[in-house]
Amino acid sequence: MIRRILLSLHVMLFISMAGGSQEAIKYMLPPDEIVRIVDAPVTPSVLVSPDKQTILVAERQGLPTIRDLAVEEYRLAGLRIDPSVNGPSRSTYFTAFRIMKIDGSEERAMKGLPDNPKLGSPVWSDDGQKVAFTNSTAATTELWVCDLKTMTSKKIAENLNGVFGYITEWLPDGSGIIFSVTDPARGPMPVKNNVPEGPVVQENLGSKAQAATYQDLLKDPYDEALFEYLAASALMI
């Protein structure tokens, strides 16, 4: 009788554990008091125009989302690279730009921006009449320009290369921008060969061991080829 009871309990426990193991565990929110603290608005950044008459107010992104943290990431030569946009994977973005006079008057919002933008790297033209900036999507990083006379924003390029930081530099007369894009001739992304071509050899000849330097150094020919591919860029105007 006792054996039957114990056997029944074991069967019920097994069924309960099997059923529980199939339940999807999802992220849960803390109490509202904590949510309000964590999601409190972040202090915006300010960028003053070259003539010191106008300021750009950049509303900053709060904490990164789970989607932001889940993007594919390559760790090469001490850098964190998101291959989908050919730029840094650990970046904070701006969600909106506002323009106003240095005294806080005549506040204006930019028009023509995409929904839910991820803006970055604003750069004033020398005459203070235009602002260039980036917008990151799921597949590329774009270059945009806003004309302050009309407050209209327009995309002028895409496929920017931001592995070493986004290069956007206005020409002195404001007629154009020098920027860096991924090299159109770089070809397909290298594919790793999981079959080793030779052994990994370490030698100790009685000398001092090499001290650790930087993290995520290039470890093999595949890392070198991948880094060269992602870093390959061309300058455009």
In order along its 237 residues, the chain shows pLDDT tens digits of: 555 544 454 545 455 555 555 577 888 888 988 888 888 888 999 999 999 999 999 999 888 888 888 889 999 999 999 999 999 988 889 999 999 999 989 999 999 999 999 999 999 999 999 999 999 998 999 999 999 999 999 999 999 999 998 888 999 988 899 999 999 999 999 998 888 777 877 777 777 766 667 788 898 899 999 999 999 999 998
Distance from the Cα of residue 27 to its chain's centroid: 23
Q: What pLDDT does residue 153 have?
A: 96
Question: What is the SS3 assignment for 6?
Answer: helix
Instruction: Please report how many Cα atoms fall inside a 13 Å half-sphere around the Cα of residue 185, on the Cβ side.
Output: 2
- Buried-exposed string 27-39: b where 16+ CB fall within 10 A, e elsewhere: eeeeeeeeeeeee
Query: What is the tens place of the pLDDT at every residue in 117-176?
Result: 999 999 999 999 999 999 999 899 999 999 999 999 999 999 999 999 888 899 998 889
Report the candidate in 220, 216, 182 with the shortest Cα–Cα distance to residue 198: 220
- Show the tokens assigned to 75: 């760790």
pLDDT at res. 7:
47
Segment 49-54 long-range contacts (CB within 8 Å, at least 24 positions apart): 49/124, 49/128, 50/124, 50/125, 50/126, 50/127, 50/128, 51/127, 51/128, 52/102, 53/101, 53/102, 53/128, 54/99, 54/100, 54/101, 54/102, 54/128, 54/148
CA distance 181 to 81: 15
Cβ partners under 8 Å of residue 222, min gap 6: 190, 192, 193
Beta-bridge mates of residue 107: none
What token pair was written down for 70? 């889940």
Q: What is the pLDDT of residue 152?
A: 95
Q: Answer yes or no: pTM beyond 0.75.
A: yes
